[in-house]
Structure 1
Amino acid sequence: MEDLSSGCEIVDTFDINTEINEDEINVEKIMEKIRENIRKQKGAGIFPEKIHGDLQQGSLLEVTPGESNIQRDLDYINSNWDIQNNSYFISSHRPFVGKFLVRGRDLVHGEIRRYVDPVFWKQTEFNGSTVRLLNDTAGKFIYYNNKIEQLQSEMDSKIEQLQSEMDSKIEHLRPELGNKIERLRSEFENQIEQLKSEIDDSIKAEVNSIISLMNLDIENKAWLASVLDGKIEKGYKNKKTGTPDPGDLDINYFRFEEQFRGSREDIKQRQSCFMNYFLGCSNVLDIGCGRGEFLELASEHGIGAKGVDIDDTMVDFCLSKGLNVVKQEAISYLESVDDKSLDGIFIDQVVEHLEPDYLIKLLKLCFQKLKYGYYIFAETVNPLSFVSFANFYIDMTHKKPIHPETLKFLLTSAGFRDVDTMFFSPVSEKARLQKVPINNDMEEWVKNYLDIYNHNLEKLNGILYGAQDYAVIGKK
C-alpha cells in the first residue's frame, strides 16, 4: 500500500511524547487522542486519494455529463470504501530513548488493533459489498438508459420514415380519391334524377288512379241516377209475396250496401281468401251476387262463374260491368239447371235474408245440383258476437240471425260432408276491452288475481267483440 499522508509521520501528529509517559501507557487516552486527530483531519479535508482495485466490478464508472453529481458520489465511495490504514510507520526523533519509545508504541498499537481491527474489517467488508452493488446498479442503469436512448432514436427514425411514406401514399392516392369522389357525385346525381323521374311517374300514376276512381264513381252514380229516374217514371212493380225481395221495402239496396256493408274494393279484398275453394272450376253459381264482387274475382282467377239476384238495380249494375248475371229467384233458377252440373256454389250474406223453410229447400237443391267433390260456401253474420248481433238489424231486409251450429247442421242434413266453420272480420284491438298489465314487482296474490281477471276479460271480449262474420263450408 502506498503512503497516503504525503510524508507526514503519524507519530508527530499525535505528539505522544508530550502526552504519554515512557514508563506508563494509557490506552484509553491514546484512543481518545486518535479519535480527536481523525476529527481534525476530516475537518481539514485530508482524505486518502488512492483507489483500491476494482472490488470485483467495483471500479470507476463512466456516467453521462448530466449526471455529474452521481459520478462524483461514485468516485468518492470507490476511493474510500476501505477504511483500514496500513501505510503508516512508528518512529521517533529522539536519539537515545527513541528505540524504547518505538517499542512501547508498537505494543500500544498492537493492543489497540486487537480491538479495532475486527470492527474495521467488518466495516470494510460491508463497504465493499455496498460499493459493488452500487456499481452494478449504476452499470445497469447506464446500460438500460443507453438502450432506451437507442430505441428512442430508432423509433424517431421509423416515425419519420412512416410519416414520409404516409405523406407519399396520400399524395399518390389523392388523384384516385378525387376521381372516385367525382364518379360517386356523378352517380349520385344520376340516381337523384332517376328518383325524380320515378317519383314523378308514381305521382302521375297515383293521380291517374284517383281520377279513374272518381270517374268510375261518377259513372256509377250517373248509372244509379238513371235507374232511379227509370223507376220513378214507370213506378214500382208489385213483387211476389213471400220472396226475399228488398224491393218490397221500397229502398235502393245498392246504395244501402255502399253505405253500410262497405265499398266493392273492401268486399273483394275480404272475399279473396275464399277463392281457393273454387280454383279450376268452370261453372260456379253465385247466389245473391249483389254488386258482383265475387264474379269479378272469379274472372280474375280464371274461374267460370254466373250470378243470380232478384234486385233490378244490382242486376243492371253487374250487367253494366260485363258480368254474367240473370235476374231470377234462387230456387227457381236451381230447379232450371241440370243435376250435378255445378262445380261450386257461393252464398255471401244471403241466408240471413231467408225464411227457414226457404233456406232448407235452397240447401237441398244446392246439394242436388252440385257435382261430387266440389264445395258450397255460405257466409253470414256471426250472432255469437254481440257487436255483430247489435248491427244485424241495421239491414231491415234481414229476417233472423243463424247460429253457426244451426247452419252447420242444415248443410250436414242436406247431405254435405266434411262440414267446417270459419270465423273472420275481427273487431279492431283498440275497440276491445284492454287487459291489465302484470309485472314482476307485484305481489304473488295480486298477480294471480289479475291473471284470473284478464282471463275472464278475454272470454268477455270473445262474447262482446268476437269475429263479425262466419262461413260454413261443405263438400259433396
Structure 2
Amino acid sequence: MPAGVDKTSAAAGISSVDASAHLERLKQEVRGGNSSRPAAARAETPRDARSDAEARWSVAVDRPIVRRPGIRGTLVYPVKRVLRKLMSWYVGPFAAEQRSFNAALLRLTDQLSSENDGLRAALAHELEDRRSGHDELQAGLEGRIESEAAARESQTAELEAALNERRRLLAEIEERMLRLERRRQESGPATVAVQPGANAIPDYFAFESRMRGDTAEIRERQRAYVGDFRDSGPVLDLGCGKGEFVALLVEAGVKVRGVDADADMVAYARGEGLEVEQGDALATLESLEDGSLGGVFAAQLLEHLPPPALVRLLELAAAKLRPGGVLVAETINPLSPLALRNYFADLTHAQPLVPETLELLARQAGFTTVEKRFLNEPEERLTVPADPVLAANVSRLNELLFAPLDYAIVARR
C-alpha cells in the first residue's frame, strides 16, 4: 500500500471493516457483550469486569482500512473507502451517543462500587463492634457468674460450718444432760486421780466434750486400733473416758473393761451398758496378777502423768501383759504446732512426750518391740507449687506445720 494512502486513511479516521460487520459488532456491544466467550472467561471478578469495560467503552468508526493482497483486495479497497465516507454520517452520531452512554454507565458503576465498598466497610465495622460488645458482655456475664458462684460457695461453706457447730453443740448438750441423769445414781468423789492438778478443771466432762469432740468423733478416730486387739483379750482400757474404745472392742467380740478416774465419765459409760469402773490407772494395774492381760489401751492418758507415774505405768503394763501381749498408748504429738495448742489447752496435762522418749521408756520398761504410728493429719495444708525448688520447701513446711496431731506406740512383750 502506498504510504500516502495509509497516512490519508489514518488522518481521515476511516475504518477497515465493512459496514455490516461494524453494525453487528455495535449491536453486540449494546446488548452487553459477546456470547461466544467461553464460560471460564465470563467468570470474572468485579475488578476484571471493570477493567474490561474501561478498555471497550470508546466506540469509534475511524479505524484504519486493511488492504488485502491480490486483485480482489485491490478492487475492494477503493469501494471500502467510499463506503466508509458514505456511512460515517450515519454511524458517527450513533457511536458518539454510545460512547456517552458507556461513559455514564462507567461513572455509575464506579459510584455504586464506591458506595458498596463504603457499605462493606461500615458493615465490617459494625460486625466488629458487635463482636467486641458480645465478647465484653460474655466476659462480664462469665465474671458475674463466677463471682456469684464463689459467693454462693462461700455462703454454703459458712452455713455448713455453722450447721456442724450447731450439731456439735447439740451432741455436747445431749452428752452433758445424759451425764447429769446418770450421775445422780452414783455417789463418790469427782475424780480419784492422784497426780497433781487432776482436779484443776471443775467440770472435766464438759471440758472434754467441748475440746476433744463428741463420742461419735472419738470412736471413729480410735477405730484404727481395733485390729491390734482382736486376738488379745482380755483388754484393759486405762482412762477410758466415755467408753468409746470399750464399745468398739465389744462390737468386735473382744473381752474388755475400762477404768477412769472421773466419776462423770464412768457414769456416762455405764449408762451405755459398758463394763467400766472408777479408779486410778496405777492402782488398777497393781491390783491385777502378772500376765493376766492380753492387751492394754491408753488413749490421751500418758501426758497427764508426771514422770515417775508414767514410768511406773509402763512397767506395770509390761508386767501384767502375758507374753505376746500388746500395749497401745496414744498421746499428743509435740512435733505438731497445731497439736501443742490442744496440749496447753488442758490444764491437767503434765508434760508433752516426744515420740523417741516414749519409745525408749517403753523398751526400758520391758517391751521387746516398739512401733511408732502417727495419726490424725490436719486437713489443711499448703499447696505444693510446680517449681521443684519451691515444692521441696513447701513440702518441708507442710511436714513441720501440719504434722499429724497424735501418735501412738504399739509395744509388745
TM range, normalised to the smaller chain?
Answer: 0.5 to 0.7
Partner letter of residue 329 of structure 2? Answer: A
Does the 8 A contact of 1:244 with 1:353 survive in 2?
Answer: no
Partner in structure 1 of residue 383 of structure 2 = 434
Does the 8 A contact of 2:374 with 2:408 survive in 1?
Answer: yes
Partner in structure 2 of residue 378 of structure 1 = 329
- Is the partner of 1:474 in helix, strand or coil? strand
Partner in structure 2 of residue 461 of structure 1 = 398
- Is the partner of 2:335 in helix, strand or coil? coil
Superposition pairs for residues 223-242 of structure 1, below 5 Å? 223-226=178-181, 242=194
User: What is the alpha-carbon distance in structure 1 between the residues aligned to residue 390 and residue 275 of structure 2?
Assistant: 54
- Is the partner of 1:338 in helix, strand or coil? coil
Superposition pairs for residues 344-363 of structure 1, below 5 Å? 344-363=295-314
User: What is the alpha-carbon distance in structure 2 between the residues aligned to residue 238 and residue 268 of structure 1?
Assistant: 24
Partner in structure 1 of residue 146 of structure 2 = none
User: What is the alpha-carbon distance in structure 2 between the residues aligned to residue 302 and residue 245 of structure 1?
Assistant: 36
Shift of 1:282: 2.8
Shift of 1:244: 5.6
State TM-score, norm by structure 1: 0.48
Partner in structure 2 of residue 302 of structure 1 = 253
Shift of 1:260: 1.3
Does the 8 A contact of 2:303 with 2:353 survive in 1?
Answer: yes
Shift of 1:475: 0.6
User: What is the alpha-carbon distance in structure 2 between the residues aligned to residue 241 and residue 294 of structure 1?
Assistant: 20
Superposition pairs for residues 118-197 of structure 1, below 5 Å? none
| Greater gyration radius | 1
Deviations 1:40-84 (A, max 9, x none): xxxxxxxxxxxxxxxxxxxxxxxxxxxxxxxxxxxxxxxxxxxxx
1:340 lines up with 2:300 in the alignment: no
Shift of 1:349: 0.4
Deviations 1:373-432 (A, max 9, x none): 11100001001111112332111111111000001001111111221100010111xx22
Shift of 1:301: 0.1
- Is the partner of 2:322 in helix, strand or coil? coil
Note the aligned Cα RMSD (angstroms).
2.7
Partner in structure 1 of residue 78 of structure 2 = none
User: What is the alpha-carbon distance in structure 2 between the residues aligned to residue 274 and residue 222 of structure 1?
Assistant: 29
- Is the partner of 1:373 in helix, strand or coil? strand
User: What is the alpha-carbon distance in structure 1 between the residues aligned to residue 207 and residue 170 of structure 2?
Assistant: 21
Instruction: Give the counterpart of 1:283 among 234, 259, 279.
Output: 234
User: What is the alpha-carbon distance in structure 2 between the residues aligned to residue 245 and residue 311 of structure 1?
Assistant: 13
User: What is the alpha-carbon distance in structure 2 between the residues aligned to residue 222 and residue 307 of structure 1?
Assistant: 22
Partner letter of residue 342 of structure 1? Answer: L
Partner in structure 2 of residue 210 of structure 1 = none
Partner in structure 1 of residue 161 of structure 2 = none
Partner in structure 1 of residue 365 of structure 2 = 414
Does the 8 A contact of 2:261 with 2:280 survive in 1?
Answer: yes
Shift of 1:215: 11
Uncovered stretches (5+) of structure 1, i.e. residues with no partner:
1-212, 438-449
Does the 8 A contact of 2:261 with 2:278 survive in 1?
Answer: yes
In structure 2, do the counterparts of structure 1 residues 242 and 299 end up closer, same or farther at CA, with 3 Å as the change threshold? Answer: closer
> Per chain length, whose mean CA-contact separation is higher, i.e. which structure has more relative contact order (CA < 8 Å, sep 6+)?
2
In structure 2, do the counterparts of structure 1 residues 230 and 316 end up closer, same or farther at CA, with 3 Å as the change threshold? Answer: closer
User: What is the alpha-carbon distance in structure 2 between the residues aligned to residue 229 and residue 272 of structure 1?
Assistant: 31
Deviations 1:172-223 (A, max 9, x none): xxxxxxxxxxxxxxxxxxxxxxxxxxxxxxxxxxxxxxxxx99997764433
In structure 2, do the counterparts of structure 1 residues 386 and 238 end up closer, same or farther at CA, with 3 Å as the change threshold? Answer: closer
| Alignment: residue pair count | 246
- Is the partner of 2:372 in helix, strand or coil? strand
Partner letter of residue 436 of structure 1? Answer: P
Superposition pairs for residues 16-415 of structure 1, below 5 Å? 220-226=175-181, 242-243=194-195, 246=198, 248-415=199-366
User: What is the alpha-carbon distance in structure 2 between the residues aligned to residue 224 and residue 273 of structure 1?
Assistant: 27
In structure 2, do the counterparts of structure 1 residues 464 and 219 end up closer, same or farther at CA, with 3 Å as the change threshold? Answer: closer
Uncovered stretches (5+) of structure 2, i.e. residues with no partner:
1-167
Deviations 1:87-129 (A, max 9, x none): xxxxxxxxxxxxxxxxxxxxxxxxxxxxxxxxxxxxxxxxxxx
- Is the partner of 2:408 in helix, strand or coil? strand
Shift of 1:372: 0.3
Does the 8 A contact of 2:192 with 2:262 survive in 1?
Answer: no
State TM-score, norm by structure 2: 0.55
